[in-house]
Chain A
Amino acid sequence: MIMTRLLSLESWKRGLWTFVRLVLIAGLSFVILYPIIQKISTSIKDKADMYSPIVVFIPEHYTLDNFKSAMFIMDYWHTLLNTLALSSTTTILTTVSCALAGYAFARLKFKGSNLLFMGVILTILVPPTTILIPIYMNLKDFTLLGLIPLLTGKSLNLLDSYWPFILTSITANSLKAGLYIFIFRQFFRGIPKEVEEAAYIDGASVSSTFLRIMLPNAMPSIITVLLFSFVWQWNDSFFTTTYLTSSKVMSTQLASLPYNLAILLEGGATTNKDPFFMSMVQDTGILLAILPLVILYLFVQRYFVESIERTGIVG
């Protein structure tokens, strides 16, 4: 008697919890998806529908005009190609250099390596704003310890090229690289030491142990870092607006979309500037910018969400 009553109470509690959990997760998912749904509905609306009080989500007149104008103003395909090139180069270089540094900090201890690791933490902590101006000056007259003026007679101006990105990512000092080194270090620390020792006993050198034993084991963390790095580089406007002034990259194009649109509209005689329309085109632009990321994410999300669980970042 008592047992069954208890049992039913248990199952009631469990059912209630399942219900609460469902409501919570569904609700929060809606909160996350709502702006995206809204953007999609805005982007396929005709201008007339913006002012119609009966149109909320599903437009009365479908149109792809917003996409067309946003793509035209952003020079979409060209920009997409540029951004892909930039993001994938920095992503790959950053991942390689951060993996090397992370492995060294985790397993190849040398005198002063702990002190240097404090430096990694410092790079995470110092806001990029603090060192932006000296870096800007440094890149404007790039001398490499006075070597380049000796050879060519004058210093190089590296601004408005991809060199700043390439140099910082080769040397593991690009956007949020400190965080990636930290992730790699925590991960390599999680691989048992015995694996490494076994490789050594079988005659592997340090570098081949790293390449052939440790790296394949670290695949999840590599994917994690690759993806974080790609997404953040794609969306970054802080460094791109500083280093690149004329090249067309997604984030700078997106940032200047309103201005370009205003110029275009003022030039044209038939249309007059309408803030609502501008905002509409801008929303479409955002949608176009995140679309490649979402597609990429759909392909790799299984690895991603699963893999980060295994990275084992423990402070």
Chain B
Amino acid sequence: MKSITKLVFRPRTYAEQKSVWGFLYVLPWLLGFLFFFLIPLLYSLQYSFSSIKANANGMSIKFIGFANYVEALTVNTNFNRRLTEAIVNMVINVPLIVIFSLFLAVLLNQKFVGRAIARSIFFLPVILASGIIANLEASSLVQAINEQNAGSGGLINSLGTFELQRIMLRSGVNENVVFYLSDAVNRIYQIVSQSGVQILIFLAGIQTISPQLYEASKIEGATGYEAFWKITFPMVSPLILVNVIYTIIDSFSRNGMTTLIKETGFTSFNFGLSSAMAWIYFLAIMVILLISTYFISKRVFYQE
């Protein structure tokens, strides 16, 4: 109490004032963080270790150790499959999305006619590929049928990929690489629609690189290709880290795991099992994030 009155009534230095105001500004977030994040997080941890029965007097929570985790991993038929699916999809998609969005950001940064329109179009996926619309799009029948028609009718289309594949295989490119790339070409819509935010972030990063660097390199005789690898790439490398993290989280928020966890909790009312699943899922994300952050941050270039 005494310290509080001292804090309020004593004439304060600028730095002290700043720290008081800083705390006040953070306070709303801090309250929310405690009530809507940290406490629920701890509860969820507790639920995952217990069996929850709803009855007439509310809920009874009984500690049962690791049984829920064992059930999720060994008994539940869906969990393992969906988790591995989610992880494999992510490992395939993240490099593609990050490289693709960096490439496009570089393209969109150059001057050409209709740049403003192109930039607006490339922002559209941010609207289209979020939340409910993305979910519904995946299950649209009309679209599926149209796609099939396009596949069978557009002979040239399918031949194109096939031909390219053959050429690449003949010229001795590794088989896996070829299939990875042709698969990427076939899924181009998925990749484009998931890289809206990343393109914008890279675009923002490229804009902050000072033009003097490019001028100097041009005077020294560097080509555009060299300028990209020696200037643009190192300068945006912190953002590559940001985008990799964002893409990983984003790819996890739009897969079957989320629905499975929700169904287990709210349709079959098995809150304990649902929490255990959510924790395994969270730990899996953390491990992947830590590994990728470790490898990327070794190569990231910072100004200081």
Task: Tell me if A146 is interfacial: C-beta within 8 Å of chain B.
Answer: no
Q: Which residues of A contact B205 (CB under 8 A)?
A: 312-314
Contact check, B127 vs A131: say whether CB atoms are below 8 A apart: no
* With known contacts A21-B112, A123-B37, A134–B43 Cβ distance under 8 A: yes
Hey, what's the 0/1 contact readout for B39-81 against A, CB within 8 Å counting as 1?
1110110010000000000000000000000000000000000
Hey, what's the 0/1 contact readout for B137-164 against A, CB within 8 Å counting as 1?
1001111011000000000000000000
* CA gap between A114 and B154 in the complex, in Å: 57
Task: Tell me if A160 is interfacial: C-beta within 8 Å of chain B.
Answer: no
Hey, what's the 0/1 contact readout for A10-54 against B, CB within 8 Å counting as 1?
000000001001101100110111111010001000000010000
Name B189-241 residues within 8 Å CB distance of A.
189, 192-193, 200-201, 203-205, 207-208, 238-239, 241
Segment of A1-9, A74-82, A102-110, A265-273 in the binding face: A102-110
Our pick among A28, A171, A238 for the contact of B258 (Cβ within 8 Å) is: A238
Our pick among A18, A126, A305 for the contact of B41 (Cβ within 8 Å) is: A126
In the assembled complex, the CB of A69 is this many whole angstroms from the nearest CB of chain B, namely: 15
Task: Tell me if B21 is interfacial: C-beta within 8 Å of chain A.
Answer: yes
Q: Which residues of B contact A22 (CB under 8 A)?
A: 112
Contact check, B142 vs A42: say whether CB atoms are below 8 A apart: yes
Q: Which residues of B contact A294 (CB under 8 A)?
A: 127
Hey, what's the 0/1 contact readout for B8-21 against A, CB within 8 Å counting as 1?
00000010011111
Contact check, A108 vs B275: say whether CB atoms are below 8 A apart: no
Q: Which residues of A contact B140 (CB under 8 A)?
A: 279, 282-283, 286
With a 10 A CB-CB cut-off, give which of A22, A110, A111, A138 has the most chain B CB atoms: A110
* CA gap between A119 and B128 in the complex, in Å: 30
Q: Which residues of A contact B132 (CB under 8 A)?
A: 235-237, 251, 254-255, 289
Contact check, A24 vs B107: say whether CB atoms are below 8 A apart: yes
Task: Tell me if A130 is interfacial: C-beta within 8 Å of chain B.
Answer: yes
Minimal Cβ-Cβ distance residue in A for B278: A130
Contact check, B119 vs A305: say whether CB atoms are below 8 A apart: yes
* With known contacts A125-B289, A311-B204, A173–B23 Cβ distance under 8 A: no
Name A216-251 residues within 8 Å CB distance of B.
228, 231-232, 234-238, 242, 251
* CA gap between A108 and B258 in the complex, in Å: 37
Contact check, A127 vs B253: say whether CB atoms are below 8 A apart: yes
Our pick among A125, A128, A286 for the contact of B285 (Cβ within 8 Å) is: A125
Contact check, B19 vs A110: say whether CB atoms are below 8 A apart: yes
* CA gap between A237 and B47 in the complex, in Å: 25
With a 10 A CB-CB cut-off, give which of A103, A126, A236, A302 has the most chain B CB atoms: A126
Contact check, A125 vs B286: say whether CB atoms are below 8 A apart: yes
Hey, what's the 0/1 contact readout for B240-266 against A, CB within 8 Å counting as 1?
011000000100110001100110011
Minimal Cβ-Cβ distance residue in A for B146: A38
Our pick among B116, B125, B136 for the contact of A282 (Cβ within 8 Å) is: B136
We find that the number of chain A residues with CB closer than 8 angstroms to chain B is 97
Task: Tell me if B173 is interfacial: C-beta within 8 Å of chain A.
Answer: no
Task: Tell me if B188 is interfacial: C-beta within 8 Å of chain A.
Answer: yes
Contact check, A231 vs B130: say whether CB atoms are below 8 A apart: yes
Hey, what's the 0/1 contact readout for A115-146 against B, CB within 8 Å counting as 1?
01001101111111111111101100000000
* CA gap between A275 and B139 in the complex, in Å: 12
Contact check, B118 vs A131: say whether CB atoms are below 8 A apart: no
Contact check, A109 vs B286: say whether CB atoms are below 8 A apart: no
Minimal Cβ-Cβ distance residue in B for A182: B242
In the assembled complex, the CB of A221 is this many whole angstroms from the nearest CB of chain B, namely: 10
Task: Tell me if A113 is interfacial: C-beta within 8 Å of chain B.
Answer: yes
Task: Tell me if A161 is interfacial: C-beta within 8 Å of chain B.
Answer: no
Q: Which residues of B contact A236 (CB under 8 A)?
A: 130-132
* With known contacts A235-B132, A235-B133, A279-B141, A138–B18 Cβ distance under 8 A: no
* CA gap between A124 and B29 in the complex, in Å: 13
Task: Tell me if B30 is interfacial: C-beta within 8 Å of chain A.
Answer: yes
Q: Which residues of B contact A50 (CB under 8 A)?
A: 142
Contact check, A109 vs B22: say whether CB atoms are below 8 A apart: yes
* CA gap between A128 and B257 in the complex, in Å: 12
With a 10 A CB-CB cut-off, give which of B31, B132, B135, B201 has the most chain A CB atoms: B132
Contact check, A110 vs B137: say whether CB atoms are below 8 A apart: no
In the assembled complex, the CB of A106 is this many whole angstroms from the nearest CB of chain B, namely: 10
Minimal Cβ-Cβ distance residue in A for B44: A134
User: Would you list 22 pairs from A and B whose C-beta atoms are within 8 A, ordered by A residue?
Assistant: A29-B121, A35-B143, A38-B142, A42-B142, A116-B30, A119-B37, A122-B37, A124-B249, A125-B289, A132-B265, A133-B265, A138-B36, A171-B32, A171-B33, A173-B29, A235-B132, A297-B120, A297-B123, A297-B124, A308-B200, A308-B204, A309-B203
**Given A129-B278, A314-B208, A315-B238, 13 other A-B residues pairs in contact with their CB atoms under 8 A:** A25-B107, A42-B142, A97-B28, A104-B22, A109-B22, A130-B281, A135-B40, A138-B36, A173-B32, A251-B132, A286-B140, A289-B133, A309-B204
Chain B residues at the A interface, C-beta cutoff of 8 Å: 14, 17-23, 25-26, 28-33, 35-41, 43-44, 47, 104, 107-108, 110, 112, 116, 118-128, 130-133, 135-137, 140-143, 145-146, 188-189, 192-193, 200-201, 203-205, 207-208, 238-239, 241-242, 249, 252-253, 257-258, 261-262, 265-266, 271, 274-275, 278-279, 281-282, 285-286, 289, 300
Chain A residues at the B interface, C-beta cutoff of 8 Å: 18, 21-22, 24-25, 28-29, 31-36, 38, 42, 50, 97-98, 100-101, 103-105, 107-111, 113, 116, 119-120, 122-135, 137-138, 167-168, 170-173, 181, 200, 205-207, 210, 228, 231-232, 234-238, 242, 251, 254-255, 275-276, 278-280, 282-283, 286, 289-290, 293-294, 297, 301-302, 304-305, 308-315
